[in-house]
Chain A
Amino acid sequence: MKYYKNLILNGFLFIAFLLILLAPPFFSTFLLPSNSSGEVAGWTSRPLLRVVPNEQDFDDLVDFVLDYSRPDQVKATVKLTAFSQHLAIYHRLFVLENTSSRELELKILLAQPPKERGFEAGGLVLFSPDSDYFARLEKSAARGETLLKVEQPQLFQLAKNILLEEEVIKLLMVTPSGLITSPLQQSHPAGSLVYPQPIYFTSQQVKNWATRSLRLAPGEKAIVTGFIKGTSRLPSTKLELKLLFQLPNNF
């Protein structure tokens, strides 16, 4: 009996010794936690901007990889499926949240042209959650026209250009009655879709590398929606886009 009591007591002492031995290394890791949630390239810490990919709505049609390795930008690689002859809309592809305690300026850049060829055109729009990501032309617009009547002109605040169907047009001014732009190169019927400065590319070239800059108050969110049109020649294909979520004037 005495033997077992000694054994238990010394067992406790041994465990106590091990605990004392292990406490400092665990304290070290706890003080600077390594967070494997993928928020900052696997390690640390809370970034200024949280990029939440929409992994629920698109199943295998969209793949995401995020990299938070720099404080002034988040890199993302997103693969979107383009369907033959169809325009696929990936609504709320990302939700972006200002997790810092100050106002942030945010824009998204396309890091390089897409390499794949199974699409005609595609793009990404950055917009506020309480607004739409596109508007429609109220009246048809003829070639050379510079005043465009759109449903919600306020959507186009802060945009330097607009995408009207497949034409990128310089935006000069937003007025309550419409948008004042550089002269149109083509005619567009009423009801055509107009996007506020999206990233826009065709299979030949990138026509717009960056979205407009939005200013986000602490805790405020922004949404990114993607769209892509497949070619008639190829079946559905995945298109890889390398994006930079930049905080240009915050550092």
Chain B
Amino acid sequence: MTTSKILLQLIKEAFLPALIIIAAKLSGVVLSLYYFQIEWQPQTKYLIPQLTLYSTQDFIRVSSWSNFGVILSLWLGLGWILVKAHLLHETHITPKLTLSLINLRLKSLISNTFDLSHQALVWLAYLWLLLLFFAVEVYFGIFYWQLYLISLGGGIILSWFFIVDLEREIKLQ
């Protein structure tokens, strides 16, 4: 029996962003509740505790800012992968930078195409999946459309940088 290397790599790479998204959502909710001084109640009917707020405005505010926190965390993660893809990619890293990294004992930062493409694919999948979810929330009026437009704009720019790197990679090969 042979398992797909691609699928195994995708699963391996999917854990970290999944945890980051959950942590970002939780922190976003907690920070919004404290920053806006919103009254809330825990609901422990289910295995995962739920939060109960007292008004729709509060709900929309907490939901919007915590969603935006999730998007910010995805931007940071994806941004780091794109920095690696553009500057620290083994196929087109400059010899000078390679030497510097070796001297600094940071050679592990140099990434190969297999790892980078899977990481970028997973992070982009999360980004666009969440943008799709949030579009539905904008439609129902529970996510500020201004924040959504910023999130969408950032998503498009980061995707564009990924495509540019991918095209360069294809030309090199």
Contacts and interface: CB of A to CB of B under 8 A. Distances in A.
Interface stretch (B10-18, B107-115, B145-153, B157-165): B10-18
Interface stretch (A5-13, A168-176, A189-197, A221-229): A5-13
Contacts of A40: 55-56, 59
Nearest to A71: B55
B1 A45 contact: no
Given A21-B125, A48-B54, A30 B48 contact: yes
User: Interface size class for chain B?
Assistant: 35 or more
Interface stretch (A31-39, A105-113, A137-145): A31-39
Interface majority SS (helix, strand, loop, mixed), chain B: helix
Given A32-B62, A69-B55, A21 B3 contact: no
A46 B54 contact: yes
A220 B55 CA distance: 21
A77 B18 CA distance: 44
Given A40-B59, A69-B57, A31 B48 contact: yes
Contacts of B57: 69-71
A21 B129 contact: yes
A44 B56 contact: yes
A15 to B, nearest CB: 10
Interface stretch (B63-71, B75-83, B84-92, B96-104): B63-71
Interface in A1-58: 2, 5-6, 9-10, 13-14, 16-17, 20-25, 27-34, 40-48
Contacts, number: 119
Interface in B1-35: 1-4, 7-8, 10-11, 14-15, 17-18, 21-22, 25-26, 29
A10 B130 contact: no
A28 B25 contact: yes
B18 A23 contact: yes
A30 B56 contact: no
Given A27-B22, A32-B29, A71 B11 contact: no
A47 B32 CA distance: 20
A44 B55 contact: yes
Nearest to B2: A6
B140 interface: yes
B130 A25 contact: yes
B11 A16 contact: yes
A119 interface: no
Contacts of B2: 6
Nearest to B25: A28
Given A10-B7, A30-B50, A68 B56 contact: yes
A43 to B, nearest CB: 5
B1 A5 contact: yes
B139 interface: no
Given A22-B129, A31-B29, A32-B62, A43 B56 contact: yes
B55 A70 contact: yes
Nearest to A68: B56
Contacts of B22: 23-24, 27
Contacts of A23: 18, 22
Contact of A43 (B41, B50, B60, B133): B60
14 contacts: A9-B3, A13-B4, A17-B7, A20-B14, A20-B18, A21-B126, A23-B22, A24-B17, A24-B25, A28-B25, A28-B70, A34-B142, A43-B140, A44-B53
